[in-house]
Amino acid sequence: MPRLNGKVAFLTGGAAGIAKASAVEFVKEGAKVALVDINAEALQRAEQDIRALGGDVLVLQADVTQEESVKSAVESAAARFGRIDVLVNAAGGSLLEDAPVHEMDIEIWRRTIMLNLLNPFLCCKHVIPHMMKNRSGSIINFSSMVGMVGMYRPAYAAAKGGIMSFTKTLAAQYAEHGIRANAIGPGSVRTERTVKRYQNKDWMLADAPSPAAKERRIVQSLYPFSTGDAIDIASICVFLASDESRMLTGTTIAADGGRSAYLKVYAGD
Ligand SMILES: NC(=O)c1ccc[n+]([C@@H]2O[C@H](COP(=O)([O-])OP(=O)(O)OC[C@H]3O[C@@H](n4cnc5c(N)ncnc54)[C@H](O)[C@@H]3O)[C@@H](O)[C@H]2O)c1
């Protein structure tokens, strides 16, 4: 029996990276998927890829930082599939301009928080009533290793830290409705975006905020699990979406190859 047989998943950022890989795995496990993304071209490609697997897919172009867009995407998905069982809040990411606090432009702080913290709240707000109708659901939020240990990008670290306590709160508030909420905190994951950003290794090392951080990065890059692929995180999403994880709620899974375990708190790395 496929592990997600008959389930309907709503995935934000579904046109690329971790969410697209998760959508592919969900479909292989018998789920139907609604992919929500701001990038229309990438959505079209994702739709073709999932149809080629025989998957039942709906693509919705929307900016998930805007409440009206979220509301209408959720209503379209619910109308098409009749239910929503799984919410994957993956749209997110950091901005290169996310500078040390005393140099931070307030607009960079605002945009980062809107994409990484306001957006998951909006999606939960509009999807949860559909889950409550069925007295079941699994919410999968995206934190990051940096939410656990800090980072030299303060707005992103604050948003991803906030996701962990938001997830705990969701778990507590909706347990009586049969809804679970968990988060995943990836370390470094190869996606088109991160490969493009970090393809020039020298640039990545040059980006290290101190010589000590640079040395740590060189050493860490030699660890066997230091960088993962989207499929590594997609597999965790399948588990959290499935009833196999029914004892898990309110937790953040550190999917970082151990980095948050062996990193002391280096605000600079
Ligand atoms: N890749 C990593 O190394 C890594 C590490 C830690 C945490 N994460 C987190 O995992 C999640 C997925 O990351 P990824 O690397 O797969 O991302 P990605 O950049 O590959 O994909 C993100 C998708 O979100 C879409 N998107 C961006 N803004 C949007 C908006 N306003 N409305 C709708 N869609 C929007 C983009 O078009 C893109 O398709 C993010 O929340 C990210 O912060 C990723």
Cα–Cα distance, 92 to 112 (Å, whole number) = 8
pTM to 2 decimal places = 0.95
Active site residue 152: no
Q: Residue 124 is part of a domain; what is its CATH number? A: 3.40.50.720
Contact call for residues 144 and 112 (beta carbons, < 8 A)? no
Q: Which of 140, 182, 194, 204 best tests ligand 1's pocket when mutated (most atoms within 8 Å of CB)?
A: 194
Over the chain, what is the mean pLDDT? 93
3 state DSSP class of 130: helix
Residue 224 confidence (pLDDT)? 76
Residue 152 confidence (pLDDT)? 87
Give helix then strand counts, H and E, for the chain.
12, 9
Contact call for residues 45 and 56 (beta carbons, < 8 A)? no
**Protein residue closest via CA to atom 12 of ligand 1:** 90
Counting the structural domains of the chain, the total is: 1
Please write the tens of the pLDDT for every residue from 126-150.
999 999 999 999 999 999 999 998 8
Residue 200 confidence (pLDDT)? 60
Cα–Cα distance, 175 to 151 (Å, whole number) = 32
SS3 per-residue string spanning 232-255: HHHHHHHHHHCHHHCCCCCCEEEE
Does residue 210 form part of some domain? no
Q: What distance in angstroms lies between residue 41's CA and the mean position of ligand 1's atoms?
A: 16
Does residue 265 form part of some domain? no
Please write the tens of the pLDDT for every residue from 64-105.
999 999 999 999 999 999 999 999 999 999 999 999 999 999
Q: Is the CB of 42 under 6 A from ligand 1?
A: yes
Q: What distance in angstroms lies between residue 17's CA and the mean position of ligand 1's atoms?
A: 7
In the numeric block, which tokens belong to residue 257? 């190859």
Res. 265 pLDDT band, cuts 50 70 90: very low
Cα–Cα distance, 4 to 238 (Å, whole number) = 8
Cα–Cα distance, 195 to 225 (Å, whole number) = 16
Does residue 171 form part of some domain? yes
Residue 114 confidence (pLDDT)? 98
Does residue 79 form part of some domain? yes
Residue 51 confidence (pLDDT)? 98
Domain carrying residue 23: 8-189+227-258
Is it the case that residue 267 has pLDDT exceeding 50? no
Q: What mean pLDDT comes out for the span 42-57?
A: 98
